[in-house]
């Protein structure tokens, strides 16, 4: 009968094994154990070939498809059950900020909204905090930043001053990464760390390990590391988002928290 593709593959493998076996035998000190091993492999394949191995397409099923991707997905589910589901807290948002209905996106609007200046609300930084507070564990979230010319993201202590301007450093309760002019990145550490990107970022990954005292930033497209802050955390931390001014439309795109369902 006609050979199936799988049989052809097995034949090719057998020929390759035979070739290897010949090479082994020609080797000056013929490693008899390797030759024997190859022979048993060959016999094993002969036994499997006609019935078991080929006709049971299902047994081959798990070897089809993008193995690396499947392995990564499997690892990802073990390491991290998914992105941390973070939403924005409108009570903290500067009056010029517009927040999407699902509370995952924020952008700077031209109109200052008439809303109460409650104690939690930023009055000069055009920022908003996440609703979820962290006081233990490891957390990872991603923020869509594509087409923006500037932004600031990271984490902040719950006790930070929301009124007026203050230094945005770890001492003051901020662990932030800032973009300016589309390509200039700066980690607001002491001393600060600056780098110029070769191409613009589209997704930022932020990783917080509370007990480990670490806040790390990644290019979420390829998980290349950008910067890590090391600190000791003693109080609740909140995700921090500043989409910056819209600059007459040049920086109108929102900052959007990526949720796995999207």
Length of the chain in terms of residues written: 262
Q: What whole-number distance in Å separates Cα of residue 39 and Cα of residue 151?
A: 64
Is 212 part of a structural domain of the chain? yes
Q: What whole-number distance in Å separates Cα of residue 236 and Cα of residue 135?
A: 5
Q: Are 204 and 225 in contact (CB under 8 A)?
A: no
Query: Tens digit of pLDDT for each residue in 26-77?
Result: 664 445 566 666 666 666 655 544 444 444 343 344 445 555 555 666 666 5
Round to the nearest angstrom and report the end-to-end CA distance of the chain. 50
Is 54 part of a structural domain of the chain? no
Look-up of token digits 């450093």: 169
Domain extent, residue 13, equals 1-49
Query: Does one domain contain both 115 and 159?
Result: yes
Is 66 part of a structural domain of the chain? no
Count up the domains in the chain and report the number: 2
Query: Does one domain contain both 127 and 225?
Result: yes
At residue 59, the pLDDT reads 39
At residue 5, the pLDDT reads 72
At residue 58, the pLDDT reads 38
Query: Tens digit of pLDDT for each residue in 136-161?
Result: 998 989 999 999 999 999 999 999 99
Greater confidence (117 vs 44) lies with 117
At residue 69, the pLDDT reads 58
Is 42 part of a structural domain of the chain? yes
Greater confidence (75 vs 94) lies with 94
Query: Tens digit of pLDDT for each residue in 210-257?
Result: 999 999 999 988 888 999 999 999 999 999 999 999 888 889 899 999
Query: Does one domain contain both 35 and 132?
Result: no
The stretches of the chain forming alpha helices (DSSP H) are 5-26, 32-48, 54-55, 57-61, 67-79
Q: What whole-number distance in Å separates Cα of residue 28 and Cα of residue 142?
A: 59
Query: Does one domain contain both 27 and 152?
Result: no
Angle at 68 between CA 257 and CA 38, to 5 degrees: 170
Residue 165 has pLDDT above 70, yes or no: yes
Name beta bridge partners: 143. 204, 257
At residue 34, the pLDDT reads 62
Give the orientation angle of helix 5-26 with respect to helix 32-48, to 10 degrees.
160
Q: What whole-number distance in Å separates Cα of residue 88 and Cα of residue 128?
A: 7
Greater confidence (9 vs 214) lies with 214
Query: Does one domain contain both 40 and 96?
Result: no
Quote the pTM value. Answer: 0.70
Greater confidence (9 vs 197) lies with 197
């Amino acid at each position: 009968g006609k050979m199936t593709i799988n049989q052809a593959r097995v034949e090719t493998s057998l020929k390759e094994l035979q070739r290897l076996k010949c090479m082994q035998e020609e080797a000056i000190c013929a490693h008899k154990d390797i030759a024997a091993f190859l022979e048993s492999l060959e016999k094993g394949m002969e036994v499997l070939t006609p019935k078991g191995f080929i006709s049971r397409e299902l047994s081959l099923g798990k070897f089809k498809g993008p193995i690396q991707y499947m392995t990564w997905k499997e690892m990802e589910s073990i390491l991290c059950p998914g992105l941390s589901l973070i939403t924005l807290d409108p009570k903290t948002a500067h009056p010029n900020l517009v927040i999407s209905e699902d509370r995952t996106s924020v952008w700077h609007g031209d109109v200052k909204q008439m809303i109460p200046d409650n104690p939690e609300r930023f009055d000069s930084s055009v920022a908003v905090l996440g609703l979820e507070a962290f006081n233990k564990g490891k957390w990872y979230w991603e923020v869509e930043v594509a087409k923006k010319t500037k932004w600031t993201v990271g984490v902040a202590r719950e006790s930070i001053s929301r009124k007026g301007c203050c230094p945005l450093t770890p001492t003051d309760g901020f662990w932030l990464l800032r973009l300016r002019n589309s390509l200039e990145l700066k980690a607001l550490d002491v001393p600060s760390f600056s780098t110029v990107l070769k191409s613009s970022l589209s997704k930022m990954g932020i990783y917080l390990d509370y007990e480990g005292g670490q806040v790390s930033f990644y290019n979420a497209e390829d998980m290349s590391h950008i910067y890590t802050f090391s600190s000791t955390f003693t109080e609740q931390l909140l995700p921090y988002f500043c989409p910056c001014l819209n600059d007459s439309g040049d920086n109108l795109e929102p900052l959007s928290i990526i949720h796995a369902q999207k």
